[in-house]
Amino acid sequence: MSVLIYADSHHGKFPKSSLEAVSYGAAIAASRGTTSVVLTIGTLQGDGGLGKAGAQKVLNASSVHTTDSQQLSRLVVAAAQAQNADVIIFSHDIAGKMIAPRVAARLDAGLIPGATSLPASEGAFKIKKNVFSGKAIAELEVTTSKKVITLLPNSFSVKTDGQDAPVEAFQADLGNTTLKVKEVKSEEKEGEIPLPEADLVVSAGRGLKGPENWGIVETLAHELGAATACSRPVSDIGWRPHHEHVGQTGITIRPNLYIAIGISGAIQHLAGVNGSKTIVVINKDPEAPFFKAADYGIVGDAFEVLPKLIEAAKAYNASK
Ligand SMILES: Cc1cc2nc3c(=O)[nH]c(=O)nc-3n(C[C@H](O)[C@H](O)[C@H](O)COP(=O)(O)OP(=O)(O)OC[C@H]3O[C@@H](n4cnc5c(N)ncnc54)[C@H](O)[C@@H]3O)c2cc1C
């Protein structure tokens, strides 16, 4: 038996969310006395740092460059069968959300999407996940012999003390596809911290009044080494790009620090950010609902508070 982890890479690098899935899979393999095997596609330098994160073996399908989830699910199933894997792990990122359900269907396996815990150490195979927009935690039991899990980003620490892993070439028949990719669009700029990866996030809403005022948000984010995010109306009106929109209909993030500026704190917004470790809210309305979810709150005008925060962050950085 083994635990197979599918590790997605971007521009030849493994994002934190993929490494978290590798370390999570390694922990499950260790608890079951089995091997952790990582499957990757495309070009790989050495073991890509996957051994440090917990991989005991790496399978590299170097000639595969597709994002087609039908074909990638066949690749993962072939690797799972070749490695006799009974647990298959993905990150709960775009690739994982597209491929994992197909793999579960092909293997007749139970699927836990968005897991936030390791399986219970004894007894039935039970794993926790957030439900009702993060307001409650469910414990799901998988009773099938094969199990597929997608791990919610920022739910498990990346291991860094593993050994270099041997890399084996892997090939499989990807078969035909009925999917057609019409366009591949990336709104992320070179050098930007990808939002799902960020430990610190500075986010702003309609309280900023217009796109011309985002300079202070970006400056604060830059001084803190944070990524920027926004509420849905802000991306809907086109003040900010869609990949920054967090919430129920945007992306879900769980950074260590989430600073919300001029955002009311509607339930649909909170659904995407309430897993953050620390939430700081800046709002001029003391009755804004966001304060109820905040660890720290500043009641004040963003245009007065932000310059002071920027000044303090600059002074701190200069003193380091
Ligand atoms: C089905 C559905 C799905 C949705 N999904 C999402 C989602 O995924 N993400 C999301 O964000 N929303 C989502 N929404 C919209 C959500 O309900 C709210 O309308 C939205 O989050 C409000 O955005 P906001 O807080 O930026 O704007 P507003 O509600 O207009 O709030 C602006 C806030 O800024 C404060 N403010 C104003 N001026 C200043 C100032 N100078 N300084 C400091 N504070 C100031 C105000 O007091 C106010 O609290 C969804 C809605 C629906 C119906």
Nearest protein CA to atom 14 of ligand 1, as residue? 268
Please check the confidence at residue 189 and state whether its pLDDT lies above 70: no
Nearest protein CA to atom 37 of ligand 1, as residue? 207
Domain at 113, CATH number: 3.40.50.620
C-beta 247 within 6 A of ligand 1: yes
Looking at the structure, tell me whether residues 39 and 120 fall in a common domain: yes
Looking at the structure, tell me whether residues 146 and 265 fall in a common domain: no
Looking at the structure, tell me whether residues 20 and 112 fall in a common domain: yes
Looking at the structure, tell me whether residues 116 and 209 fall in a common domain: no
How many A from CA of 207 to the centre of ligand 1? 8
The predicted-structure confidence for 48-93, as pLDDT tens digits, reads as follows: 999 999 999 999 999 999 999 999 999 999 999 999 999 999 999 9
Looking at the structure, tell me whether residues 159 and 213 fall in a common domain: no
C-beta 272 within 6 A of ligand 1: yes
What's the confidence (pLDDT) of residue 187?
61
**What is the distance in angstroms between the CA of the first residue and the CA of the last residue of the chain?**
50
The predicted-structure confidence for 83-140, as pLDDT tens digits, reads as follows: 999 999 999 998 999 999 999 999 999 999 999 999 988 889 999 998 887 778 999 9
Q: Is residue 189 part of a domain?
A: no
Domain at 211, CATH number: 3.40.50.1220
Q: Where are the beta strands (DSSP E) in 107-256?
A: 110-115, 126-131, 136-141, 147-151, 167-169, 200-204, 227-230
Q: Is residue 18 part of a domain?
A: yes
Give percent of the chain with pLDDT exceeding 70.
98
How many A from CA of 295 to the centre of ligand 1? 19
The predicted-structure confidence for 269-281, as pLDDT tens digits, reads as follows: 999 999 899 999 9
Number of structural domains, the chain? 2
The predicted-structure confidence for 283-294, as pLDDT tens digits, reads as follows: 999 999 999 999
Instruction: Report pTM.
Output: 0.82
Those residues whose C-beta lies under 8 Å from the C-beta of residue 296, and which sit 6 or more positions away, are: 278, 279, 280, 281
C-beta 236 within 6 A of ligand 1: no
Q: Is residue 36 part of a domain?
A: yes
Looking at the structure, tell me whether residues 18 and 147 fall in a common domain: yes
Domain membership of residue 210 as a residue range: 195-319
Q: Is residue 264 part of a domain?
A: yes
Looking at the structure, tell me whether residues 282 and 163 fall in a common domain: no
Q: Is residue 176 part of a domain?
A: no
- Rounded to whole angstroms, the Cα distance separating 160 from 201 reads 24
Looking at the structure, tell me whether residues 10 and 132 fall in a common domain: yes
